[in-house]
Amino acid sequence: MDTKLTALKDKLFSGKEANQLPAIAELANLGEEGLQVLDEFIQSRKAANTEVTWIDGKIHQTLLQSDLPQAIDLAQTHYPQGVVTLRSEKGIDYQEIQTLLAKQDFEEADRLTSKKLCEAASADALKRGWLYFTEAKLIPISDLQTINQLWLVYSEGKFGFSVQRKIWFSLGKGWEKFWLKIGWKKDGSFTRYPNEFIWSLDAPRGHLPLSNQLRGNKTMQAIFSHPAW
């Protein structure tokens, strides 16, 4: 194993996320030898029964984006459905959200997330197409946690309701500061849907998912107050 490959492997196995992120991309670009290191790393995490994190999501995304057939094979072998175990008290299928997020199609994943939140809450919400704030508490804990984990894992830890909630608390639950911090408001005006939102990892931390952003803050507050956290 050459010096560069050894150095990248050390970074990947270091356990330090700041080192792991660039190492994943570089290893994927090194061809078969780099992919062998990623394969070894994936297997070591599975053998240790390591909790799924955004590191796993990043590897999955990187393999899917590769032009190498071996990379696609690895993705199919290790992540045939994705990296997140999809739990739902109501038997709701969240696989399509996982597939979209793995491909970094954040805009379509966001639309589907809003629909699935309604489905998890009530038949009325699903028919209506959006949540009343009083319905947020009807979403089962397992379902909200699954949706949140999907966004966390496939966004390098930048997106998700738990991320937004943490930011909201850090700002003293001040909505105006919150909108500005996560990029939902700028120069006194709310960000216009969909074209002014940033549908990529270049977005500010907490920018996605949008949930019921267009219908005020009561639904968001209800989600942030949910027992899932």
Q: pLDDT, tens digit, for every residue of 23-65?
A: 999 999 999 999 999 999 999 999 999 999 999 999 999 999 9
Q: Kindly report each contact of residues 88-91 with a partner whose C-beta sits within 8 Å and lies 24 or more positions away, as own/partner.
A: 88/120, 88/140, 88/142, 88/143, 88/146, 89/140, 89/141, 89/142, 89/143, 90/119, 90/120, 90/140, 90/143
Query: What pLDDT shows up at residue 215?
Result: 57
The residue among 125, 150, 149, 152 whose CA lies nearest residue 139 is 125
Which residue stretches of 93-160 are H helix? 95-102, 106-121, 123-128, 141-153
Query: What pLDDT shows up at residue 212?
Result: 58
- Rounded distance, CA 40 to CA 13, Å? 10
Q: What is the pTM of this model?
A: 0.95
Q: Is the pLDDT of residue 124 over 60?
A: yes
- Here the tokens at position 158 are 């930048």
